[in-house]
């Protein structure tokens, strides 16, 4: 991963760990690590990285409001 992402990951992990410790629930720490692992996987695969960073996202237009029943 680029150094800026590593710095962001470290900062997020520290703040998430502190918050998790404050409430006594470490589930958010696990989720944080999973998300950053996926980020690292994207950076490790040049084709995937290119696909996710260079192709424009399609806009499928406005969404109509569902009918109420």
Q: Per residue of the chain (69 residues), give pLDDT as tens.
A: 999 999 999 999 999 999 999 999 999 999 999 999 999 999 999 999 998 888 776 777 888 999 987
Question: Does 68 reside within a domain?
Answer: no
What pLDDT does 69 receive?
78
For the chain, the domain total comes to: 1
Rounded to 5, what percent of the chain is helix, strand, coil?
70, 0, 30
What pLDDT does 51 receive?
87
Question: Does 26 reside within a domain?
Answer: yes
Instruction: Say what the pTM is.
Output: 0.72
For residues 36 and 27, give the distance between their C-alpha atoms in angstroms, rounded to a whole number: 15
Question: Does 7 reside within a domain?
Answer: yes
């Amino acid at each position: 991963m680029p150094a800026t992402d590593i710095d962001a990951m470290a900062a997020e992990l520290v703040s998430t760990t502190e918050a998790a410790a404050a409430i006594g629930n470490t589930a958010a720490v696990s989720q944080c690590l999973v998300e950053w692992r996926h980020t690292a996987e994207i950076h490790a695969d040049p084709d995937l990285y290119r696909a996710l960073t260079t192709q424009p996202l399609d806009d499928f237009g406005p969404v109509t409001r569902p009918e109420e029943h």
